[in-house]
């Protein structure tokens, strides 16, 4: 997407709004220190009588209040990062979780005109009706109901006018503010504001790409095409653009509307089990999962009893290798294998700066020790995963973004299950998958493929090794080989080197004795005992004793 440049006057107004809101909640020093305040005319700045009262709230409460007042882009920022304990402290996460998307309906919005211009069609040629009143309104889009000439009911998800431009302008200011925070605020530096905004920019751009959401929906439908328990809304591609989605209208009941489910003779506990099963299948079987499975995005169709997930703008993808690692992580967690959990976390992490390995293992042990075979049915995966994210944050481990989406999704889906059925426990749903994971680990076909892959890697290494060695030798000849090293553990290195040199010297002596003794034996050098040269025999015995001595020293913890 091309960079968006605000007109100067509009830019000044936006900065003024931002500064006034920050000042209102006691953060006026942020922009004052950055120098941005000098570019804002004093006529744009206001004195806030509520500032002193607002200072009675905690810093994290005031951050949440600032985001709410600044509008949809900032609310979306808070919502997206409400599950990132790897980047933000738990106290701030708790405040961000309170953010709700209260977007007002668009005023004077002519939906028919927008559709005709966007699709380049005449609506009466294709539609019996288009409802001017929205079914729902969010910060990025508004939803309207319509009916095709064939009688099929559809809904249009329409991006708000100029939303991309508004997002781009807000991102521009967010980036400048983040740089100012990171430069002038020691407290803010710990929150990594520049990294937060960069990650938000990627997420919001993905959510604004409606063609990508369409592809996600169709991929999701293919994954479950043979599953009669789920219904994925049909997409009408010929009525879609990058800012407009037309899909099947589903007259369903939200999973949170328990009284309506019961009135339709639908068992909420059965819905909980089937819904969570479908979500686990997304993760553990297909590796492509809904990243925001809140109750508003999960419907039950009363006529068929099928579950339907909606809104595929935010999806998580798991690579095949990572899917195997996740399965291993689940097994090691149930087995309480702390060391292997730590190794796996370091393997899949995108960044690690672990201050103390022993502390990390202790934190993991405390996490898994609460889960025993007898108490497994009483474990709440939501609270366990929340504690797990805290362990990651405190030990400075950053996992791939999709894993935080996955953790958030599991916490939400368990909450949905417990609301439908207070006795619901997700571990019952996990049992069949753990059995499958164990079965896969010892599957002969899998073991063969894995070892074949390793053999291919080894073969490639052997193929490229001569070229690599030639390249290194050429650099040595040309004087271009640069070796970078640190003197860590130098004493231990010297000791190990001394041992190695000693062993090498003994090995040379043993080889010389063996060769010399062989020559003496072959030459029949006197004196002879029973036809065997005495010096040759003594040489063989001595070399054998020295050889045994080296082997024994190696097995005695390298004491030689």
Beta-carbon contacts of 165 under 8 Å, excluding residues fewer than 6 positions away, are: 4
What counts of helices (H) and strands (E) characterise the chain? 22, 14
- Neighbouring C-beta atoms of residue 251, cutoff 10 Å: 9
Cα–Cα distance measured from residue 426 to residue 409, given in angstroms and rounded to the nearest whole number = 13
The region that residue 525 occupies, defined by phi over 0 for left and psi between -120 and 50 for alpha, beta otherwise, is beta
Cα–Cα distance measured from residue 221 to residue 316, given in angstroms and rounded to the nearest whole number = 15
Beta-carbon contacts of 364 under 8 Å, excluding residues fewer than 6 positions away, are: 338, 341, 342, 391
| Beta strand ranges found along 409-524 (DSSP E) | none
Query: Is the distance from CB of 414 to CB of 381 less than 8 angstroms?
Result: yes
Give Dmax (Cα) for the chain.
Answer: 118
Cα–Cα distance measured from residue 475 to residue 54, given in angstroms and rounded to the nearest whole number = 65
Q: Which long-range contacts (CB under 8 A, 24 or more apart) does 149-153 make?
A: 149/125, 152/248, 153/248, 153/249, 153/251
Find, among 252, 533, 272, 284, the residue nearest to 421 by Cα. 272
Percent helix, strand, coil in the chain, to 5, is 60, 10, 30
Q: Which helix (H) or strand (E) holds 246?
A: strand 244-248
Cα–Cα distance measured from residue 253 to residue 56, given in angstroms and rounded to the nearest whole number = 42
Q: The tokens of 197 are what?
A: 């905004």
Backbone angles phi, psi at 373, to 5 degrees: -60, -35
- Which sequence positions are flagged as catalytic? 292
* Residue 57 per-residue DSSP state: S
């Amino acid at each position: 997407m091309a960079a968006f440049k605000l007109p100067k006057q509009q830019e000044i107004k936006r900065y003024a709004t931002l500064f006034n809101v920050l000042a209102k909640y006691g953060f006026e020093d942020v922009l004052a220190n950055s120098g941005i305040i000098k570019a804002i005319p004093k006529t744009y700045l206001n004195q806030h009588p509520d500032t002193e009262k607002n200072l009675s709230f905690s810093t994290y409460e005031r951050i949440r209040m600032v985001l709410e007042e600044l509008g949809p882009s900032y609310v979306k920022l808070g919502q997206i990062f409400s599950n990132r304990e790897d980047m933000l402290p738990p106290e701030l996460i708790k405040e961000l979780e309170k953010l709700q998307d209260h977007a007002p309906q668009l005023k004077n919005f002519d939906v028919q005109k927008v559709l005709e211009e966007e699709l380049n069609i005449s609506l009466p040629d294709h539609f019996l009706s288009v409802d001017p009143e929205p079914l729902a309104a969010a910060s990025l889009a508004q939803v309207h109901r319509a009916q095709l000439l064939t009688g099929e009911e559809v809904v249009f998800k329409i991006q708000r006018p100029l939303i991309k431009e508004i997002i781009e302008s807000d991102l521009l200011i967010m980036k400048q503010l983040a740089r100012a925070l990171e430069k002038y605020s020691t407290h803010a530096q710990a929150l990594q504001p520049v990294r937060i905004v960069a990650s938000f920019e990627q997420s919001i751009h993905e959510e604004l790409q409606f063609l990508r959401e369409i592809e996600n929906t169709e991929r999701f439908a293919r994954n479950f095409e043979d599953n009669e328990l789920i219904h994925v809304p049909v997409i009408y591609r010929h009525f879609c653009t990058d800012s407009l989605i037309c899909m099947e209208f589903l007259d369903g009941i939200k999973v949170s509307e328990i009284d309506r489910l019961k009135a339709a003779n639908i068992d909420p506990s059965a819905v909980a089990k089937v819904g969570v099963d479908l979500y686990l299948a997304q993760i553990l079987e297909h590796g492509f999962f809904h990243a925001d499975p809140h109750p508003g995005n999960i419907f039950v169709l009363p006529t068929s009893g099928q579950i339907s997930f909606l809104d595929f703008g935010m999806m998580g993808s798991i690579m095949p290798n990572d899917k195997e690692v996740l399965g291993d992580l689940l097994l090691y967690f149930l087995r309480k294998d702390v060391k292997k959990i730590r190794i796996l976390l370091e393997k899949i992490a995108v960044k690690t700066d672990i201050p103390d390995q022993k502390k990390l293992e202790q934190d993991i042990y405390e996490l898994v020790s609460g889960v025993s075979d007898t108490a497994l049915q009483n474990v709440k995966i939501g609270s366990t995963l929340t504690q797990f994210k805290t362990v990651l944050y405190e030990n400075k481990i950053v996992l791939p973004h999709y894993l935080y989406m996955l953790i958030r999704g599991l916490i939400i889906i368990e909450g949905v299950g417990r609301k439908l059925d207070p006795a619901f426990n997700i571990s019952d749903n996990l049992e069949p998958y753990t059995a499958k994971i164990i079965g896969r680990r010892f599957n002969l076909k899998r073991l063969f493929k894995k070892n074949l892959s390793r053999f291919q890697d080894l073969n490639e290494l052997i193929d490229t090794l001569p070229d690599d060695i030639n390249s290194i030798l050429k650099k040595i000849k040309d004087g271009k080989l640069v070796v970078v090293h640190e003197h860590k553990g130098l004493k231990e290195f010297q000791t190990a080197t001394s041992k190695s040199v000693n062993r090498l010297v003994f090995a040379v002596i043993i080889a010389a004795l063996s060769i010399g003794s062989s020559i003496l034996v072959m030459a029949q050098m006197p004196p002879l005992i029973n036809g065997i040269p005495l010096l040759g025999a003594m040489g063989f015995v001595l070399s054998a004793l020295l050889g045994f001595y080296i082997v024994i020293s190696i097995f005695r913890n390298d004491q030689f």
